[in-house]
């Protein structure tokens, strides 16, 4: 990026060992950390290609880079920086309120303005955190006190979950392949069932379960409201292999699903109802087996 252009934007540019850095002194006094009441008077960047990457102060580290290709020499860079902070503060309030509504205590670091929360489903303990744009991911996972190294790769949408337990069950399922789980009492053979509680994807009891065809016979001409919770589970047999399929409605025609076997999770992702080929068709495609070899146990 042309140094003269950067200086026209008001940046103080320096270069050392091939690394270009820049700093902008903020004159307006509008960038304020609301927790420490500190006025932020300067912001530091490193230049990578045509982007400005925030490297300081801590309140900005990790924010979306500024694309210089969309700026002109007359652009007010300070206004963009202030708006970046204000957008982050909006996400902090919105996501903190959503966590509280789920029964989860949010925690915001005063210095970095990073939002995190703690959840637990033994033997796992999770730390989740929101990015500057409000996207949640797993920051840290402990298995009986031992940290799992792949924790930071999992991203999820908080609004998909109806309560704290549902989120804990989901997080636990992501690591089911590395955690020894208590043996579940097998569900009685039958067709696909709908659970009576929306807090778990993978458990159902004969006392609470209801064959889906009975619901359809009773309410087949009615409508399901856009955000009403709905979960289905089905036991699957492919030869001698026993699997369990589960799906929970996010909203409208969007669902999140999971397929698990004796060794843990096989698949987990969102899907659209219009694109879903049915339980047998989906598992046939996913597992690479003939359609007729997939049996919803009856």
Question: Per-domain residue ranges for the chain?
Answer: 3-96, 114-174, 193-296
Under-50 pLDDT residues of the chain: 151-152, 181-191, 193-207
Confidence (pLDDT) at 25: 95
Q: Which residues contact 17 (CB under 8 A, 6 or more apart)?
A: none
Which tokens sit at 62?
């990790």
Confidence (pLDDT) at 194: 40
Q: Which of 43, 44, 47 is nearest to 19 (CA)?
A: 47
Confidence (pLDDT) at 225: 74
Give the predicted TM-score (pTM) of the model.
Answer: 0.61
Confidence (pLDDT) at 73: 82
CB 260 within 8 A of CB 201: no
Confidence (pLDDT) at 206: 44
Q: Which of 62, 49, 41, 57 is nearest to 20 (CA)?
A: 49
Confidence (pLDDT) at 228: 67
Confidence (pLDDT) at 184: 43
Confidence (pLDDT) at 176: 67
């Amino acid at each position: 990026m042309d140094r003269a252009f950067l200086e026209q934007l008001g940046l103080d540019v320096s270069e050392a060992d091939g690394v270009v850095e820049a700093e902008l002194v903020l004159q307006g006094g509008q960038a304020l950390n609301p927790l420490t009441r500190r006025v932020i008077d300067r912001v530091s960047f490193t230049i990578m290609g045509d982007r400005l990457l925030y490297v300081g102060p801590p309140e900005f580290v990790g924010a979306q880079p500024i694309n210089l290709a969309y700026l002109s020499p007359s652009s007010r860079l300070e206004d963009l920086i202030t708006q970046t902070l204000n957008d982050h503060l909006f996400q902090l309030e919105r996501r903190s309120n959503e966590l509280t509504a789920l029964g989860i205590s949010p925690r915001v670091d005063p210095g970095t303005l990073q939002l995190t929360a703690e959840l637990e489903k033994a033997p796992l303990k999770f730390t989740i955190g929101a990015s500057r744009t409000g996207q949640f991911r797993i920051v840290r996972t402990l298995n009986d006190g031992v940290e799992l190294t792949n924790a930071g790769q999992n991203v999820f949408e908080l609004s998909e979950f109806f309560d704290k337990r549902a989120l804990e069950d989901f997080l636990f399922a992501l690591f089911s392949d590395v955690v020894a789980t208590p043996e579940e009492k097998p569900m009685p053979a039958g067709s696909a069932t709908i659970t009576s509680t929306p807090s778990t994807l993978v458990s159902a009891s004969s006392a609470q379960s209801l064959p889906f065809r009975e619901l359809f016979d009773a309410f087949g001409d009615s409508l399901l409201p856009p955000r009403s919770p709905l979960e289905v589970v089905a036991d699957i047999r492919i030869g001698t292999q026993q699997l369990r399929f589960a799906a929970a409605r996010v909203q409208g025609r969007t669902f999140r699903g999971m397929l698990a076997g004796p060794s843990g999770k096989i698949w987990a992702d969102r899907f659209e109802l219009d694109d879903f080929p049915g339980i047998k068709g989906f598992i046939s495609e996913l597992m690479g087996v003939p359609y007729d070899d997939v049996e919803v146990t009856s």
